[in-house]
Structure 1
Amino acid sequence: MDLEEAFQTVGEFGRHQKRMVTVLIFLQVYMAFQSMLIVLVGAVPEYYKQPVTEAGDTTKGVTFTVDVSSIVTEWSLVKEDAYKVSLAGSLFFAGVLIGNVLFGPLSDKIGRKPVFLTGLFFEVLFGYGTALAPSYEIFALSRLLVGLMNGGMALVCFVLTQEYVGKSYWAMTGTLTNMTFAVGICLFAALGYCVRPWRSLATAANCPGLLLFLLCVTLPESPRWLYSQGHTKQAEDILQYFAVRNGKGRIPIKLRRTVSTCTPDGSSPGVFQLVTHPVLRRRTLVLMYVWYVCSLVYYGLTLNASEDEGNRYLSVAMYGLVELPAYPLCMYFINKQWAGRRKSLAVFLAFAGVSCMLTMFVPVSGTVLNATSLALVGKLMVSAAFNIVYVYTSELYPTVIRNAGLGVCSMSCRVGGILAPFVPSMRSLHASLPFMVFCLSGLSASCLGLLLPETLNKPSAETLDELSSPIYQRILEPQVHLLEEKHLSDNNEADSD
């Protein structure tokens, strides 16, 4: 039988799969803690300079006006050392970028589970290194290593939430994963409010990772990855285990043998196939630009929406809360036949771009319709687009190269995040130029996204050979058998006459 038929037999989203996916989804809370850690541990309280006399020399020392525990107050990261706070945050995201590129192809070659567990283990280990860092240099290095593990592990975690269930549930599990990350941002704000010392906060934020690692050790390998690599017997055993744990008994599963997943030169599919394969090359170029624009517009609007000063814990919470309505909104649209993945992605990106454009024509504050409210609406739209592009990308790539494709796309996403803070500097040329950049980027990505094929209610490809026409191979093949049977029955009737 086909792999999707096997999932329908054992249960596309049975109780056992719900338990596994729940553990992976809760892992998003831990990832959010690590991603937002620098926002609170790098808090810069108000300070003033005063003369300090040492050994006959008078210099200006720094005195903080409030008692705040952060890396800034512990290592005096002010004045000429103030850049080190931003540098630590940049090192984390640089590590995420590298992890996206390295872990994706690696998990496609040696398996999801070993790469996932290794990344999670070392992220927890380096996370405790952050809390115990004796100097800024060790702290910065630990953030780079945590980002490296976080980027790769998060990618494989997302793919596992898709590959443990039937394809009809991919949109739901992907949406719940991204929604939980936003909830994690809110929970981190509450944790930071309760735990003020930065070392205690770093330790408390890292503890959920240790618990979740112990729960993840028992997770099985992805049956989709096993099937795509030709390990049909192991995939059948895992699917039978799913059936037993779902309460359906030991159902006999006999999967159709897969064709070879090797390229003509005998090697396994890898990142190079994203360039050489004509279908993959076209999809990858479009997706990389869409991911880049999602990140550029998202962080650009975030910078505009966070200009108001206020309680930093409330600001962090709002950073996550504003994203929550986007996920049920996009889940509704992407599962409708008249909208689907492709049109929904294009519309949300277009609305995000239009929101940026309208921001240039309304007052900054003082009215209900102001720049801040439009920026938040734009962030809502681009958050929905971000969620769709995660689900959409995983459906556009075959199983044998899915993680590699996601890794390359996520890498372009990080490039957009790195460049976003520099766009506001264009105000020196013209006040509206930054928002015009975000507007044109959103609209252009919306148009390019329409070049991608629709994947709603379409079978997913497992190997590169199925990529060219998976629908023809999986849907028309039974029709050929029906035509053959009809032809035989007609011949029998003719002979009897």
Structure 2
Amino acid sequence: MVCDNVGLKEVVQVILLLGQTVGALIFTSVADKYGRKPVLVACNFLLGATGFGVAYAPNIYVMIAFRFLCGFFQQGATLVAVTLRMEFLTSKNRRVVIVLSGLFWTLTTVLFGLMAYFMRDQSWRMLQTAAALFTCNFILSALFLYESPRWLSANKKYAQTLEIIRKACQINKKDYQKVKAVYELHVIQPQEAKDLVVERNSILDIVRHRALFMTSVILCFIWMTNSLTYYGLFLTSSSLAGNRHLNFILIGLSGLPSDMLNMVLLAFFGRKPVIMGWLLTAGTGLLAATMFMAFGSSEASVILSVIFSCVGKLGIGASFSNMFMYTPELFPTNVRSAGLGVCAGVSRLGSMLSPYSQTLAEVALWGPGLIFSVMCFLSAILFTKLPETRGQPMPNTISDMKQRVASNYGNRNVDVLDYEAEILKPK
């Protein structure tokens, strides 16, 4: 499609990432204002529609326009889904679900590599069409997903929250009246007694405070490191020795051990040491791979560079997956989706540079790995300034978030969604 305009090949990928940046900032803020479910369902449907548009674009310029829209709606679907998922979980269950989410991501990556391999003799349009078909799950989302009870409570929609709690109690065979009484005591009555108005926060409320602003800046840099390194490794996988389809699948499979290890590590250690450890693993693996590529000339050096690249991918994939759990745990309810959106949006700056990592690798094969490893080491150092969130309730207000950042330990009050477990556990 590009013929002599080879530079447009990278532009297609950059435009997709630009759409992701805009979508991350817009749809997450809309979800904080109007609710998680409607934004999620609408974005998922529109993602499928624009995916088909890419598949049947008549020329490169139409394709670029549809790629922008794909990125735009993809971030609305993905980030709002992350927020909704996290807000349905208690602190004890977030670890399990985020690991399962990482596992599904890994398996989907491998599936996509296999699809590309078996469809290698077909037009790329057929592969794009097959990928777009997966968005048909928007039908299930519309029928079976509930709105976030945390968002409903924060916006004083108590009746709708209680209806979701009633259904949950019915499914799990719990005493609805007991749970309702606790919810009224700890949520409704305090808000009504103080005559609290619904907080209409924006991300600007966070950056006005120095401690929260610095926390957001650190998070954004770590997200950008994860994004640049993760996608850069995928896009430079064709530069590795051997078959490009096999390398892509192996890079994807390298995330599988990290998913399993996360399940164990997060059960015994806090979020900070685990994520910092994975960043250091990524930096070390990529630095070793870079050294073998730069100074090795034997076949063994080539093989070792591939192995250590997979180690780097393992570390950065595990870190990236955990950031989707850690970041929402820091932001308060009415800016949680927007806060995640800002971090994801800024991370796309790294993603926009990732297509050019392959170009850099053609000039200096060791270049991308050196940049990735330095950023990973720096991110691990910066992470020491962030608070631990393990076993802590998600903050409901800006004040809760400020308190957590200031103390670097957080509020140890019982989480709203943990009340049921507290009153029903054996004495």
Q: Is this a same-fold pair by TM over 0.5?
A: yes
Where does residue 99 of structure 2 map in the other structure? 175
CA contact (8 A) 1:352 1:381 kept: yes
Query: Unaligned 5+ residue runs, structure 1?
Result: 1-74, 477-497
Where does residue 228 of structure 2 map in the other structure? 296
Q: Which amino acid aligns with 2:413?
A: R
Mapping of residues 84-483 of structure 1, within 5 Å: 84-195=8-119, 196-210=122-136, 212-218=137-143, 219-248=145-174, 250-252=176-178, 253-254=180-181, 255=183, 256-257=187-188, 259=191, 268-308=200-240, 310-336=242-268, 339-362=269-292, 363=296, 366-367=299-300, 370-422=304-356, 434-469=368-403, 472=411, 474=413
Deviation at 1:121, TM superposition (A): 1.4
CA contact (8 A) 1:95 1:147 kept: yes
Percent identical pairs in the alignment equals 27
Give CA-to-partner distance per residue, 1:95-137, whole Å, 9 cap, x none: 1111111111111111001111111111112122223323332
Q: Which amino acid aligns with 2:73?
A: M
Q: Which amino acid aligns with 1:170?
A: R
- CA spacing shift, 1:134–1:405, aligned 2, 3 Å: same
Residues of 1 paired with 2:157 and 2:356: CA distance?
48
Deviates more, 1:412-421 or 1:358-367: 358-367
Query: Unaligned 5+ residue runs, structure 2?
Result: 405-409, 416-427
Q: Which amino acid aligns with 1:317?
A: I
TM-score w.r.t. structure 1 length?
0.72
TM-score w.r.t. structure 2 length?
0.83
Give CA-to-partner distance per residue, 1:422-477, whole Å, 9 cap, x none: 4677789988665443332111110110111111112221222333447557269x
Where does residue 48 of structure 1 map in the other structure? none
Where does residue 421 of structure 2 map in the other structure? none
Where does residue 44 of structure 1 map in the other structure? none
Residues of 1 paired with 2:285 and 2:117: CA distance?
33
Deviation at 1:404, TM superposition (A): 0.8
Give CA-to-partner distance per residue, 1:9-33, whole Å, 9 cap, x none: xxxxxxxxxxxxxxxxxxxxxxxxx
The alignment partner of 2:207 has SS state of: helix
Superposed CA RMSD: 2.9
Larger gyration radius, structure 1 or structure 2: 1
Aligned length: 394
Deviation at 1:376, TM superposition (A): 1.3
Mapping of residues 63-74 of structure 1, within 5 Å: none
Deviation at 1:156, TM superposition (A): 0.6
CA contact (8 A) 1:364 1:371 kept: no
> Which one has a larger percent helix, Structure 1 or Structure 2?
2
Residues of 2 paired with 1:187 and 1:133: CA distance?
24
Residues of 2 paired with 1:324 and 1:331: CA distance?
11
Residues of 1 paired with 2:394 and 2:22: CA distance?
28
Deviation at 1:392, TM superposition (A): 0.8
